Structure 1
Amino acid sequence: MKVVRFCLADYLDTNGISRYSLAKRTGIQYHVIDSYYKNKVYRLDGYNLGRIIQSLDCRLTDILTVVEE
């Protein structure tokens, strides 16, 4: 079965961006960003994803991946 996983932690760490900084940039609460960072999100919110990729100036595939489980 294929599942979507966040690789936001890798992206942020590679680019030297903190979760706090991303929360400030996007206006998304820190605990929500932290959930994405720790890959503990069970429902994807398109609005939040849009805000994240816009503030990071990246593609969706930079922060999401599909893996076989």
Structure 2
Amino acid sequence: MRLRLIFDAGQLAEDAQAGITFPDGELAEWRFVAGEDLDQYTIARLARRIHTAIAAKNRGQAVYAEHGTEPTD
């Protein structure tokens, strides 16, 4: 069983953005991506989870999702 959590940590100030580095070389770049563009940048199951998290945030709610999909009552 795996547990995946997504948190909204607020906005990252420009000086903090400028300080982002990848000393181990595992990553080469980073970027902010609009929600509607997620499918172009990540795999479908991760995009689904992020879309669900964005929708919950916009409603001001926390949500427990199964495989990135909100449960239906």
Determine if the TM-score, normalized by the shorter chain, exceeds 0.5: no
Greater fraction helix: 1
| Higher RCO (CA-CA < 8 Å; seq separation 6+) | 1
Q: What TM-score results when the alignment is normalised by the length of structure 2? A: 0.28
Task: Return the structure number with greater strand share.
Answer: 1
